Structure 1
Amino acid sequence: MSEPQSSYRARIDALATASTGLKSRDRSFVTAKIITGIILLALAIWLMKYQPAHIAWILLPAACFVALAIAHERVLRRLRQHTRLAAYYERGMARIENRWATEASTDSITNGLQFLDPHHPYARDLDLFGPGSLFQLLSTARTAPGEETLAAWLQQPAPISEITLRQQAIRELAPQLDLRETLVLAGEEAKGKLHPDALIAWAEAPSPFRRAALRTLFLGLDAAWVASLLAWWQWRWPAPALALSLINIGVSYKFRERMLKAASGVEGAQHDLALLAAILAPIERHTFAAGKLHQLQSRLTCSGICASKAIADLTRRLAWLESNDNWFVKLLNLFCFWTPLCTLAIDAWRARFGPSVRDWLAVAGEMEALTSLAVYTYEHPTDIFPTLIAPDTPRIEAEDLAHPLLARDKAIGNDLALSSASNGLQLIVVSGPNMAGKSTFMRALGLNIVLAQAGAPVFAKRLALSPLQVAASICVLDSLQGGLSRFYAEISRLKQIDDLARAPMPVLFLLDELLSGTNSHDRRTGTERFVRGLLTRGAVGLVTTHDLALAEIAEQIGPHAANYHFADTFDDGKLHFDYKLTPGIVQTANALLLMRSIGLEV
């Protein structure tokens, strides 16, 4: 059993033991509350019938019942937390044991399908999102900002400087299980409840008031009204009190709609900000060494006040506002301006801290994305962090590189070297029979490059690369809704790849069975011309094919291209694959053998 497995199993067992004790206490509290409730009811009936003058004695069992309820709720809260943490570690065990894809239906983590853009240059082709995807394997985010940040990192390569900072942060976060537990419990409360768009809209909305003038007006009228009441009491002058009461009622009525409108969005913001504070507080308190984590912490301070304390201050102001439900406050509001002043205090908070809310959400998102990659790092201890090479010429050097979505003890690794340098190999044409591993190898390369440029470790013994824009044509589908045939959808993708190759960042192209929707002559000519154009612009990449005629492309292009293949053997009616990339053109074919093996007479 690996170290991550043993750590997770130990914590799952400890949580199970603690939960057993908590469930026993839960049953005891239920019994105690029932007994106390019966005593309270019986005592109340007896006192009302025989000793009504001593009815106050029911306060004693009532206080006991309240105390039991409070203590019971604490036990239930801890039990819920233990259940959440146990589920969290069980999901971790599923990932380590390669059960994560098949158990997706019971996993509360989303698979990121909402982020799948069919026009993205590689998201669909590399299984970035959806069931059994890289996002599903990686994501432990519990909030929308965390999922959005991780999805964005997977879809856009980061600069080398940013990748280096992320790697340092991920290395530091990887072994910190206790911190992750705290973040998980905070994030669980926010799962499906935090509404970042609505919160940002409220925080950044322009103020509808001239706060200084209104505050001066309301305080002045309040002071004058109180003074008029004192004058009435001291010198029997009712006229000023009556006049000021009428004036204050009129002013309150004039501003009533504006104040109600301003306060209407506060309750939703209060809930979202409380959840955000629960997520940010552990980040603020923790001591970090990595520069990236220090940067995130520094962004949680505004005007010398950390985000969680600022949100706590808003909570107090909202509590003042909520007091207007009290009948005494409602009566008082007719003559003085308690509710308007509370609304202005909240508006003042929004003017001071509102512009920071977007950044606080961004920090929460980045922290969850880093934590997701740290969990992946911890659960795959044999994976390595890649070496980033200065962007002089496009270059990839991989040793024992394998598909990151496969089990570590079953995946087959391969070596690869691509470079647009004068003596480098820019193009590899990969031939081979069905099921030999051509598409899997292509996806393995693409996914590892995506992981590397997001800051994560990769499934390889060694990987060095320069900044690259991945572009793939592997899983191009037709579109009935869009009226596109598969062939037209494919050439549209090729146009997108060509446009990317003209941009400053070099392209890594991954082309599987290119132009299979046309005749062999057009396919051969079109593929060669398209690939030559990419190579001229400094791109590097792979082309896979079943059609051995396409293998001639490498010979036509010259020393910057080479043929490799995946082979198979057929013994005792069964196909066998070694999934090893081998120089040269494939010499075997398995289509007829496969057809005969299932009883077709061909």
Structure 2
Amino acid sequence: MTLRPDQDAGAELAASSEAADPRERARALYRERARERELVVASLERQDARLSRARVACFVAFLILVVAGWQLSLPWLTLGIPVAAFVILLVIHERVLERRDAARRALAHYREGLDRCADRWAGKGATTTDHADPDHPYWADLDLFGEGSVFDLVCRARTRAGEEQLARWLTIHATQRVEPGQIRARQRSVRALIDAVDLREDLAVLGAAARVEVRPEVLIDWGRAPPLFSTKTRRWLPIAALVLPALAVAGVVAWAMGLGVWALLVVLGIEAWVYRSLGDTLARVAGPADRNSHELGVLAAVLARVERERFEDPRLVELRDALRTDDLGAGDAVAGLRRLAGWYEAQRNGLFAPIALVLMWGPNFALAIERWRRRHGPQIVAWIAALGEIEALSSLASHAFENPDDVFPEILDDAEADDPEQGQAILEGCDLGHPLLPRATCVRNDLRLCPPVRAHVISGSNMSGKSTFLRTVGTNVVLALAGAPVRASSLRLTPVRIGATLRVQDSLREGASRFWAELTRLRTVSELADAAPTLFLLDEIFHGTNSHDRRIGAEALLRSLLERGAIGLLTTHDLALAKAAEALAPAATNVHFQDDLRDGELHFDYRMREGVVRKSNALALMRSVGLDV
């Protein structure tokens, strides 16, 4: 390696390390930033300790002055000195604590990134299963949601909108075939965000300040709702909300001057009638803003941060522009709603509540919130959609940044298929590996499904890797169609729908046996193939029936799927099913995984080979656990 004059040995070492492990660039950056954030946290913690001691000192000084003032007849105004100092220190301390907490969240963000680079990510990301549909034809089969899932690995979104958008990209292939141009555009946006490390840190720090629990669909429905005050109410309520508080204050003054309390009581009676006539309308007007002002503040900060980012990718520019309305950005608009919501919530303070009732606090701020909703409500859906898509793209970009040796697949147009009239799909991959497995133990295989060969019947012994290979293919295809990089050295494919039978379960509640549940799932896969080119991943189908029926049924199903342009994989323990591939040749071929018995122990290399497996390990496994066979 030849160094430039401005390079040193450290640069050479870094370059050689990166050559050895492409992820070293991400690790090095994360380590450097984590150290910087650690220093900031330590400094702010020291400031926190000093300010805490100073506040205690101010309080002690106040007590001393109270005693001294009583003993020595000091002017009571001297008490204002420690009180003023305490208030100033309180304000400064709150700001230091906010900065300290933000630095801690940034430190946690980079430590999580280092864990992902070291394959210690399981259970530390988005482990939710809220986006899972029990009837979905592949999410459970491919481990898309839950702890140790694809979503756990990839998702960095901090808002529900971002999570839901990413989940939609991962699961939509059961109901819809995404257009190639749309996927390629998404890939360009992801590439444009790969080096946006500062943006990802800011989104993580802002979003982690408080989980944004304002549900997008609730906020959108609230913004789209028709006027919640009737036309008649909108005429008289603004006048009453201004006049009655003024009259109430005048009544209080009259009462204090000894002119009687009757005027005040009359005004209070009218105000009580107003509150009663409004009923629960005030609560409906406040809607999702009520009791959620802090979450709205976080949402406003996230929106404002995205608005400040300079994008060059056309789609990202379009999404950022969608966050503006007239001359006001979405962040500023939501911040305004947050302030109104905060003032509205103030009426629940126990000490302020009586005054709020007299001043008609609730109706006044409900009217202000309604005016905000009439102006900005219809645009909420565009704001939420834009933010969700940017967060989802940022998640995929973070995954690409941390896994630079993963490749973006080549998305083919239908016209590039060998037989586009029949809508046949193509899937060709080299060195395909499962993205959820540690790289050190991940075994890779090649796959080529395109005319004339469009299906593999995979035979092999137990634990040899058949089902894992199906999940490897399915998971990489899901990531590819979402616009993400994949665990491979190359991958080219046409967009497909996906159906799988790796985790079909019986249902006691619905009274369905596993065989019946499997038949239902296979019908779903067949319907997918009717609608569009489909990738099928069928694992040990029909094993709940006899070998004769299984062979006939599997061959007929495979023939039907291939005739409709589908591609896919079918695994089996039953070597009789290998004849199905022979009957359907050249459209289907036999491949297998095998094992070796050495010194009484089974060894697997998880490599896919051509042809039918010639041996079984079932008896050896039975004996290995002590069964007398």
Same fold (TM > 0.5): yes
Count of aligned residue pairs for this structure pair: 579
Q: Deviations over 1:427-468 (max 9, x none)?
A: 111111111111111110000110011111111111111110
Q: Deviations over 1:320-353 (max 9, x none)?
A: 657879999977986x977645432321111111
One-letter code aligned to 1:143: T
| Match of residue 30 from structure 2 | 8
Q: Is structure 2 residue 150 aligned with structure 1 residue 134?
A: yes
SS at match of 1:156: helix
| Match of residue 185 from structure 1 | 205
| Match of residue 39 from structure 1 | 61
> How far apart, in 1, do the equivalents of 2:365 and 2:106 lie?
40
Q: CA deviation at 1:395?
A: 0.8
Q: 1:143 aligns with which of 159, 166, 178?
A: 159
Q: Is structure 2 residue 46 aligned with structure 1 residue 18?
A: no
Say if 2:294 and 2:338, in contact at 8 Å, map to a contact too: no
Say if 1:168 and 1:290, in contact at 8 Å, map to a contact too: yes
| Match of residue 444 from structure 1 | 472
| Match of residue 318 from structure 2 | 295
Q: Is structure 2 residue 276 aligned with structure 1 residue 257?
A: yes
Q: 1:155 aligns with which of 165, 168, 171?
A: 171
Say if 1:225 and 1:245, in contact at 8 Å, map to a contact too: no
> How far apart, in 1, do the equivalents of 2:241 and 2:428 lie?
76
1:97/1:532 CA distance change after superposition, 3 Å? same
> How far apart, in 2, do the equivalents of 1:315 and 1:119 lie?
39
| Match of residue 7 from structure 2 | none
SS at match of 1:463: strand
Q: CA deviation at 1:15?
A: 1.7
Q: Deviations over 1:233-267 (max 9, x none)?
A: xxxxxxxxx99999977765553335574443353
Q: Structure 2, unaligned stretches of length 5 or more?
A: 1-16, 18-23, 251-260, 415-419
One-letter code aligned to 2:276: E
Say if 1:386 and 1:464, in contact at 8 Å, map to a contact too: yes
Q: CA deviation at 1:577?
A: 2.1
Q: 1:95 aligns with which of 112, 116, 133?
A: 116
Q: Deviations over 1:384-417 (max 9, x none)?
A: 1111111233111111111111122332221111
> How far apart, in 2, do the equivalents of 1:226 and 1:116 lie?
55
SS at match of 2:54: helix
| Match of residue 73 from structure 2 | 51
1:70/1:564 CA distance change after superposition, 3 Å? same
Say if 1:143 and 1:190, in contact at 8 Å, map to a contact too: no
Say if 2:211 and 2:295, in contact at 8 Å, map to a contact too: no
| Match of residue 377 from structure 2 | 354
1:89/1:315 CA distance change after superposition, 3 Å? closer
One-letter code aligned to 1:515: F
| Match of residue 433 from structure 1 | 461
> How far apart, in 2, do the equivalents of 1:382 and 1:594 lie?
37
SS at match of 2:441: coil
SS at match of 1:113: coil
SS at match of 1:470: strand
Say if 1:165 and 1:291, in contact at 8 Å, map to a contact too: no
Alignment map for 1:119-130 (pairs within 5 Å): 119-130=135-146
Say if 1:33 and 1:65, in contact at 8 Å, map to a contact too: yes
> How far apart, in 2, do the equivalents of 1:25 and 1:360 lie?
39
Q: CA deviation at 1:46?
A: 2.0
One-letter code aligned to 1:483: G
Q: Deviations over 1:445-504 (max 9, x none)?
A: 00011001111111111111111001001111112222211111111111111111111x
1:316/1:528 CA distance change after superposition, 3 Å? closer
| Match of residue 62 from structure 1 | 83
Say if 1:215 and 1:341, in contact at 8 Å, map to a contact too: no
> How far apart, in 2, do the equivalents of 1:221 and 1:146 lie?
40
One-letter code aligned to 2:478: V
Alignment map for 1:63-82 (pairs within 5 Å): 63-82=84-103
> How far apart, in 1, do the equivalents of 2:241 and 2:89 lie?
48
Say if 2:127 and 2:147, in contact at 8 Å, map to a contact too: yes
1:75/1:323 CA distance change after superposition, 3 Å? closer
Q: Percent of counterpart pairs with the same letter? A: 41
> How far apart, in 2, do the equivalents of 1:221 and 1:383 lie?
62
> How far apart, in 2, do the equivalents of 1:151 and 1:361 lie?
15
Say if 2:241 and 2:363, in contact at 8 Å, map to a contact too: no
SS at match of 2:456: strand
Say if 1:165 and 1:290, in contact at 8 Å, map to a contact too: no
SS at match of 1:516: coil
Say if 2:158 and 2:204, in contact at 8 Å, map to a contact too: yes
One-letter code aligned to 2:387: A
| Match of residue 555 from structure 2 | 528
Alignment map for 1:214-293 (pairs within 5 Å): 214=234, 218-219=238-239, 252-257=271-276, 261-264=280-283, 265=286, 266-268=289-291, 270-293=293-316
Say if 2:596 and 2:602, in contact at 8 Å, map to a contact too: yes
Q: CA deviation at 1:218?
A: 4.6
One-letter code aligned to 2:109: Y
Q: Is structure 2 residue 197 aligned with structure 1 residue 169?
A: no
| Match of residue 236 from structure 1 | none
SS at match of 2:209: helix
| Match of residue 233 from structure 1 | none
| Match of residue 235 from structure 1 | none
Q: Deviations over 1:354-387 (max 9, x none)?
A: 1222332222322221121111111111001111
One-letter code aligned to 2:425: P
| Match of residue 439 from structure 2 | 408
One-letter code aligned to 2:118: E
1:21/1:218 CA distance change after superposition, 3 Å? closer
Q: 1:371 aligns with which of 378, 391, 394?
A: 394
SS at match of 2:290: helix
| Match of residue 614 from structure 2 | 587
Q: CA deviation at 1:198?
A: 4.1
1:324/1:97 CA distance change after superposition, 3 Å? closer
Say if 2:282 and 2:363, in contact at 8 Å, map to a contact too: no
Q: CA deviation at 1:42?
A: 1.3
1:333/1:92 CA distance change after superposition, 3 Å? closer
Q: Deviations over 1:563-584 (max 9, x none)?
A: 1111222222222222221111
Q: Deviations over 1:188-224 (max 9, x none)?
A: 1231643434433443333233579846885599689
SS at match of 1:20: helix
> How far apart, in 1, do the equivalents of 2:610 and 2:455 lie?
13
> How far apart, in 2, do the equivalents of 1:321 and 1:600 lie?
71
| Match of residue 208 from structure 1 | 228
One-letter code aligned to 1:402: G
> How far apart, in 1, do the equivalents of 2:356 and 2:509 lie?
62
| Match of residue 238 from structure 1 | none
Q: Is structure 2 residue 408 aligned with structure 1 residue 385?
A: yes
> How far apart, in 2, do the equivalents of 1:555 and 1:340 lie?
78
> How far apart, in 2, do the equivalents of 1:380 and 1:389 lie?
23
> How far apart, in 2, do the equivalents of 1:586 and 1:328 lie?
80
Say if 1:262 and 1:343, in contact at 8 Å, map to a contact too: no
Say if 2:214 and 2:292, in contact at 8 Å, map to a contact too: no
Q: Is structure 2 residue 105 aligned with structure 1 residue 84?
A: yes
> How far apart, in 1, do the equivalents of 2:393 and 2:574 lie?
43
One-letter code aligned to 2:208: E
- 309-318 or 402-411: which moved more? 309-318
Say if 2:296 and 2:335, in contact at 8 Å, map to a contact too: no
SS at match of 2:275: helix
Q: Structure 1, unaligned stretches of length 5 or more?
A: 231-241
1:50/1:415 CA distance change after superposition, 3 Å? same
| Match of residue 550 from structure 1 | 577
SS at match of 2:596: strand
